[in-house]
Structure 1
């Protein structure tokens, strides 16, 4: 009597097989012994599945809508909603081989890489001990690790490679003529353990390597960069999906090598790489006892763990669209000054009162002319707010410095910080990103609404009360955003914070008093904005602070001089002259200090060169003339003419381009054969800002 075969249910599927690309998915489908009927799915599950079995194991297969770590995490999350009995995943497809030698031989095109560990190399944080990587894939369950070792051991014991048998499931009967292949392109390879002098023979075998796989958000196409990242981590493969599985999802990554993750990357080996990876994955099922798989101690039925995994991936997505270099405590900003003790006392007290008093206005606009010291104040304010745990977020614009000169990463950067500083914001933000992962690339208005305003409104409506602390957002140098329409949009949007009365969110903004910014602040209601004009602060207060700066800098310099000079240099009279020359521009004072402290020059002579300009009415002359005249010292007329010519070439390009250039870019534009750009730049170090990274 013929029995009806029982139809598998959701609980019968214990292995998830995910393929990032269509060619990989095609290879996977050809490895199934049989295909099953489609089952119903969770209402939130948007995946499309193929269900089937291999050697008695029921497998759910899915592909990604697009490659990347975030899509991988979302597909896994959805799969676990529908198939709650899944014990582990296989992530199977192609990868970029790192040309190193393992115990099995050199890594080559067509080889198989099996993960012993996966590291997300482009995510981490700086700690005292150095850069610490984050995002390591959880190890597979023991039954799967045992299967990988058994597969290798039994494969070594037979002359008939089971992987080649599985490859035959893919139709490879076409000859070179039928497939229109170029026979001259056929490559004969020696065995993996060949020596330099060995005879080259055809090698049909597939080599399986086990080791560390690197996962990143972008495709690697640079051999030098690949090696620099891979070498300290002993990695043998590079890919773009595995980190999406994150730490709570048991997973084995299998990759067929289709390129070397360098500039020669192409699609020629995609098919074969996909096929060998799928063949290896199929063979695993012949070494997995069915009952042992079902008894795995790490079932994926805890949806909370999976939600945490996709949350981490979405947080990584937000990290990718934020700009850590734009924060007050970034490496670049840490090199810049903060207010000296005893300076800006009244202003800092006014800002502190504004930030703490319950009925203060929502927005504090500190504006001033160029060089008045706005950014120095912003750094001090952000530092203080951070110490008192009321800094919600901060962003320092900087003209000509890549993404710091535009607004496209402003709101993702602020959102990322708010999520970690304001309680309950992170969970709501990650939920929004899970539903709409492309928000960070949308318009400014949509970014603000979805990434910042909606999560904050939700927090306010669900528990923010009278005990909620006041959080301050610091936005420095708004005028250095290169799009006037974006500036106007930003100012219109931050006014909406005034409606968050329970959260008490405040915004501290600095800028020059440019016309578009002035108009926007004039259009704001008086009860929203508090305005301070920095260059209109009484002159005697500015003079006091600039004097404190000069004395602090020169005391530090004097400490390196002989004892007799320390007590009399530079003297009160010189300090008073410098203060008169500088007021109200702190940038003048800073430039003079850098000039006098030039380690290649005598500071006394440098100071006298500056004081000689005290009779000039133009602060521009007084600031820059000593630097330029110094370049002529000790040179004959012919040499002076040559320096002047070289100076005009270098500075002329800098002024014409009006964007910060790297030294390499400057050399590329000028292509100098008769002078050294580095010598010119060294002579101008006190008036040119040359980044260490450039």
Structure 2
């Protein structure tokens, strides 16, 4: 934070862009949030955007620039007037390509102000973009870095840019390519004594909030502390400067679905005991064991249900509970019972929002853990089983949805059957399109015969804007099977 503060308040600022990077879980988002609050208190925060891979809207690159522009317009009247003038002449720019949005909504309004000798602010506004690597499009990630860099070179733009991300290879290459002309300060966020102190402070503040919330049921230890000092030291030591470890621990103890912090604290302590004896060589390795022990609490009866949902969350776009449940028919009560042990790592919408809100992971490190079989072991969701379910369950349901969309193309009996199923599940057709999207990988399915049968039964004539590239790839992989070659796309 100290280096960021010096950069922000440097009166002779030469570099208007700062890249803060580091591995998963070290607290980049926590730093971004704290820095945003500091800048807001100093009246120099222009806008902030936090990408999140678990949310379709928050991972969409085309929502970034309109969000930044809106926040700046609320803050600055001069910018608002310039932006309003430009939007009046070209309102469609809100739906334009990323580079056009950036030019029209960020560059042009400030350039217009500069041309009229109007300065938007005495001190540059800070723009924070956190989680760049969680933006859904790698090409958009690279483009954003270049667009921000170009903007940072302009004297007429009173903006400073803080970009936070993992050091993914394509992002590192973009920042490091000699021909890219990237000029910025940069800092790697590592786990050191300062980070450990920040995590310990976060734990104390979070446990204080839990105590205030549940003071009527919490039993204070003889030393007058809650949590007891030994338990706090254990959690702090296990976290070892890793914010994601600490935040997961806090969610375990303060789980509102349980409402018993003392019992949850004992549970957490039992999970953490033994990490030291397990030959742990790094905090990230400890995080893997932590995730494994959380998953191990799921009963054998519930595990298949849990793995089905974790697989869809890992390999598919964000989807609603209802949408995923329609592919793996399960009663609502059974689903919520199965997920009861995972509220510290999985964000589960309440039953009343099961058809509207997405199920997602709290942190991308959990998704990374699940997708790497070397790390998650038996809790690794099977890619081949996911494909099989997506095709064999998704295609028939999507067929029913399309039947309801085009009733004049089917018989009354087919329409009645489809309407009954669609009403029963209340699913969105776009969610069921997952069966189409994975066809290119049909050859990797666990049960190819069932997948081929589902493809043959699907009425492709109902699709008006089908992605022919996906179908072409799928057919290429399976055309060696003569019975598959019989189905026609009309």
TM-score range relative to shorter protein: 0.5 to 0.7
- Partner of 2:345, secondary structure, is coil
1-structure distance, mates of 2:332, 2:56: 31
Contact 1:613 1:621 (8 Å CA) reproduced? no
Q: CA 1:497 to 1:652, structure 2 compared with 1: closer, same or farther past 3 Å?
A: closer
TM-score (norm 1): 0.45
1:603 to 252, 264, 271: 264
Q: CA 1:558 to 1:607, structure 2 compared with 1: closer, same or farther past 3 Å?
A: farther
Contact 1:464 1:503 (8 Å CA) reproduced? no
Contact 1:466 1:502 (8 Å CA) reproduced? no
- Partner of 1:450, secondary structure, is helix
1:641 is matched with 300
1:285-300 matches, within 5 Å, as none
2-structure distance, mates of 1:408, 1:620: 33
1-structure distance, mates of 2:182, 2:172: 16
1-structure distance, mates of 2:303, 2:119: 66
1:512-571 CA-to-partner distances (Å, cap 9, x unmatched) read 111121122224789831111112x5x211222222223333344456323445625544
1:344 is matched with none
1:167 is matched with none
Contact 2:111 2:156 (8 Å CA) reproduced? no
1:352 is matched with 5
2-structure distance, mates of 1:352, 1:677: 47
1-structure distance, mates of 2:152, 2:303: 55
2:327 to 669, 674, 684: 669
1:587 is matched with 244
Gaps of 5+ in 2: 358-490
1-structure distance, mates of 2:233, 2:76: 47
Q: CA 1:355 to 1:643, structure 2 compared with 1: closer, same or farther past 3 Å?
A: same
2-structure distance, mates of 1:611, 1:467: 50
2:336 to 678, 681, 687: 678
- Partner of 1:670, secondary structure, is coil
> In the TM superposition, what is the alpha-carbon distance from 1:388 to its structure 2 partner?
2.6
1:454 is matched with 108
1:655 to 285, 310, 314: 314
Contact 2:56 2:318 (8 Å CA) reproduced? no
Contact 2:294 2:342 (8 Å CA) reproduced? yes
2:187 matched to 1:532? yes
Q: CA 1:567 to 1:465, structure 2 compared with 1: closer, same or farther past 3 Å?
A: same
1:40 is matched with none
2:72 matched to 1:437? no
Q: CA 1:691 to 1:478, structure 2 compared with 1: closer, same or farther past 3 Å?
A: farther
2-structure distance, mates of 1:556, 1:431: 46
1:573-595 CA-to-partner distances (Å, cap 9, x unmatched) read 44333333222421011111211
> In the TM superposition, what is the alpha-carbon distance from 1:467 to its structure 2 partner?
7.3
1:395 is matched with 49
2-structure distance, mates of 1:622, 1:472: 38
- Partner of 1:528, secondary structure, is coil
> In the TM superposition, what is the alpha-carbon distance from 1:507 to its structure 2 partner?
0.6
Contact 1:577 1:611 (8 Å CA) reproduced? yes
Q: CA 1:622 to 1:365, structure 2 compared with 1: closer, same or farther past 3 Å?
A: same
1:562 to 213, 216, 219: 219
2-structure distance, mates of 1:474, 1:679: 39
1:627-673 CA-to-partner distances (Å, cap 9, x unmatched) read 23434xxxxxxxx432333333333333343x333222222221115
1:72-221 matches, within 5 Å, as none
2:289 matched to 1:622? yes
Equivalenced residue count is 336
Q: CA 1:691 to 1:367, structure 2 compared with 1: closer, same or farther past 3 Å?
A: farther
1:218-229 matches, within 5 Å, as none
1-structure distance, mates of 2:9, 2:289: 42
| Larger proportion of strand | 1
1-structure distance, mates of 2:340, 2:120: 56
Q: CA 1:476 to 1:691, structure 2 compared with 1: closer, same or farther past 3 Å?
A: farther
Q: CA RMSD in A?
A: 2.7
1:549 is matched with 202
2-structure distance, mates of 1:646, 1:586: 29
1:600-634 CA-to-partner distances (Å, cap 9, x unmatched) read 55134213312224233232443223423434xxx
> In the TM superposition, what is the alpha-carbon distance from 1:675 to its structure 2 partner?
6.9
1:222-272 CA-to-partner distances (Å, cap 9, x unmatched) read xxxxxxxxxxxxxxxxxxxxxxxxxxxxxxxxxxxxxxxxxxxxxxxxxxx
1:241-640 matches, within 5 Å, as 347=1, 349-360=2-13, 361-464=15-118, 468-523=122-177, 528-535=183-190, 539-557=192-210, 560=215, 561-565=218-222, 567=224, 570-598=227-255, 599=258, 602-614=263-275, 615-616=277-278, 617=280, 618-631=285-298, 640=299
- Partner of 2:34, secondary structure, is helix
> In the TM superposition, what is the alpha-carbon distance from 1:431 to its structure 2 partner?
2.1
Gaps of 5+ in 1: 1-346, 632-639
- Partner of 2:224, secondary structure, is helix
- Partner of 2:305, secondary structure, is helix
2-structure distance, mates of 1:588, 1:393: 28
1-structure distance, mates of 2:121, 2:342: 53
1-structure distance, mates of 2:219, 2:251: 20
